[in-house]
Amino acid sequence: MQVGSMKMGRAEGVQRNDIHLSQPHREEKFVHKEFSQLPKDLFGTSGRHSGEEKDDEEYEKDLDNEVDGKNITRIQKFESSYRSNVSVLVESSKDDLREEDGLGDQIMGSLGLGDDAEVKNAVARISSKRGKDFRTDFSRGHRVSSQRMRIQRRVMPCRRDIDAFAPSFLAIFESLVPAEEEKAKQRQLLLSLSKLINKEWPNAQLYLYGSCANSFGVSNSDIDVCLSIDDTEISKADILLKLADILQSGNLQNVQALTRARVPIVKLMDPVTGISCDICINNLLAVVNTKLLGDYAKIDARLRQLAFIVKHWARSRRVNETYQGTLSSYAYVIMCIHFLQLRRPAILPCLQAMEATYVVTVNSTKYAYFDQVEKLNGFGGRNKESISRLLWAFFQYWAYHHDYTNDVISVRMGSIISKQAKDWTRRIGNDRHLICIEDPLEITHDLGRVVDKFSIKILREEFERAANILQYDPKPTVTLFEPYVPPQRHLQDKDTLSIIEN
């Protein structure tokens, strides 16, 4: 099966490893012998819980038939059962899933509580109580439309003046794009880190990955760096600790090794550029993924415009927090790519379904796709839809058209595939499949698996709100991004409160 590819040109400032060419495509291999593969189950699989599976299945049926607000009482009962917990709010989740295991240390650090053993125990108690259903805000998600109303709204034509708002949306997009000066600072930091690290490991390579390198990063973002190192004599944790020592010797600030995180990293802040940075070890599939998304961005400018605006909306409405059961920025980008693949005429092709011109091997697995994007110039030219019309159609699709019960969106296939084909019809452990978004490379990974039966209602409510604003509001470029402000809540764990106060 072809996976699709583009030439693995250097992500900004990224040094290259050995490249092996072959005809008719080229194949690239990273320099070290063996990589530690990303965990396929990022949230754990503790086996099936038949009772919980039943809850999720019943929920999907309820959501398609309920009248607005029908389940408020049930939700309030659930909320009351957690009144002894502390509400922990993570302001912004990193692009795709690196948050949980280092959370206790982050909480104590932010409170300035140091290494106090009693505090650690309190935080551990909080963390152990928190399940995937634990949420801090139960005031949302009660106004999802009934099935009858959704069917009626599916056939509603777009407002006639929708294109008039395109210039304003484009201005919002331009305001979110990082300045060239910011990109130059990122390259400067990468070069400084390379010089520092190569003193200890001469053959090590640094790669930018994630939103800072795939053309979807907004202004003032942190950067993510992958350290590719072929050192099998020491463990990844020891490499991270040694890396932290090297970085501290280089006068970098706030250096912290999070060796027990699901994706272990070293965090740092560069006082010269003011940029914060996370460095992981041998996560080279993320580098390939970065290239794939970057290549899609080169095909049609409307992809970046749509993705930036959707991400801005998601942050404003607080549905961009994986820790709170909503979607990552990466997931929203995948949703935008898939949406543009399905437009008629199509705006984006399916690169992984085309003849592969780029092949790379990571952890003994080959990934391939068509990467000669210069040959696709003007691919979406027959589709004349403006950014405002595409934005309306995007939210219209996710509010009223998507079949949450049966469908999976797949950029890899450029189409909708069934949950049954993916075996994503039931909950396994903490993995729910209420909104299914297939990762284009790690295809067993559902980017929506963090969404539970409460947060899916919040997402769908927000999709409907956005669709209705774009359909009816006289000033959609303002109203759409009005920040959601959650109701004030107080810390409710008495033990923790007494420790902090003392």
Fold adopted by 180-286: Beta Polymerase; domain 2 (3.30.460)
- What is the rounded CA–CA span in Å between residue 459 and residue 356? 36
Cβ count near 275 (within 10 Å): 20
- Give the pLDDT of the chain (502 residues) as one tens digit per residue: 444 433 333 333 333 333 332 333 445 544 443 333 333 332 233 333 333 444 454 445 555 444 344 444 444 444 444 333 333 333 333 434 443 333 343 333 433 444 445 444 544 444 444 444 445 567 899 999 999 999 999 999 999 999 999 999 999 999 999 999 999 999 999 999 999 999 999 999 999 999 999 999 998 888 999 999 987 778 889 999 999 999 999 989 999 999 988 789 999 999 999 999 999 999 999 999 999 999 999 999 999 999 999 999 999 999 999 999 999 999 999 999 999 999 999 999 999 999 999 999 999 999 999 999 999 999 999 999 999 999 999 999 999 999 999 999 999 999 999 999 999 999 888 889 999 999 999 999 999 999 999 999 999 999 999 999 999 999 999 999 999 998 876 544 444 434 334 4
- What is the rounded CA–CA span in Å between residue 163 and residue 167? 8
Contact 120, 432 (CB under 8 A): no
Which residue in 487, 119, 174, 484 sits closest to 326, CA to CA? 484
Contact 489, 87 (CB under 8 A): yes
What Rg, from alpha-carbon coordinates, does the chain have? Answer: 23
Domain chopping of the chain, boundaries: 180-286
What is the 8-class DSSP label of residue 373? G
**pTM score, two decimals?**
0.74
pLDDT at 124: 47
- Number of helices (H) and strands (E), helices first, in the chain? 16, 12
